[in-house]
Amino acid sequence: MTKPSRLDSIKKFFPKGRKPSIQEIVREPTAGGIVYRKNDKGELEILLIQDAKDRWTIPKGHIEPGETAVAAAKREIGEEAGLKNVEMQGWLGKIHFRYRRIDKLVLMTTQIYLVKALGDTDAIKKEEWMNGIKWFNFSDAFDEIEYEDIGKLMLLAKKRIRQENL
């Protein structure tokens, strides 16, 4: 029988699968929108996308160099939902996410806008990486949304739509 090496005897103190320590903090500015429409009955509907981890959220993505947050939100809605005919109706707020990417801590700040879908709003199409895309009545969208901060901004959006009769 072979004698265990000194390295093998030390390995037991270091569990397998341990995440590497954080080596860098990365800031990622992003933008997106709470996209809405009124259905045939005049009821408010919100567009949500289902990400690869089955979480329902709003269309959003990275701000490209030289791009404004509002332009990025409009572009991302076009790319992620196929909606090119939209009206940007103002800034709702910003939300912060943080997550780990291997040995990096990613701090994401997302600027959120109120966005009215115009034209053929049924012509939505999801990107390949998504698990779904769907118009929800407001209550169902609020129940499905994965992130509490986005839910709060959805309530603000509903209030603004009502008060400003959008």
Quick: pLDDT tens for 33-86. 999 999 999 999 999 999 989 999 999 999 999 999 999 999 999 999 999 999
| pLDDT confidence band for 165 (50 / 70 / 90) | confident
Looking at residue 152, its pLDDT comes to 96
Looking at residue 57, its pLDDT comes to 95
Higher pLDDT, 86 or 18: 86
Looking at residue 97, its pLDDT comes to 85
Distances in Å between the Cα of 163 and the Cα atoms of 94, 115, 156 are 21, 16, 10
pLDDT of residue 1 exceeding 60, the answer is no
Class assignment of domain 29-163?
alpha beta
Backbone angles phi, psi at 3, to 5 degrees: -80, 135
Q: Is the dihedral of CA 148, 149, 155, 161 positive or negative?
A: negative
d(Cα 102, Cα 158) in Å, to the nearest integer? Answer: 38
Report the chain's mean pLDDT, rounded to a whole number. 90
Looking at residue 15, its pLDDT comes to 58
Looking at residue 99, its pLDDT comes to 85
Looking at residue 101, its pLDDT comes to 84
d(Cα 159, Cα 98) in Å, to the nearest integer? Answer: 28
Looking at residue 10, its pLDDT comes to 62
Strands 24-38 and 104-117: parallel
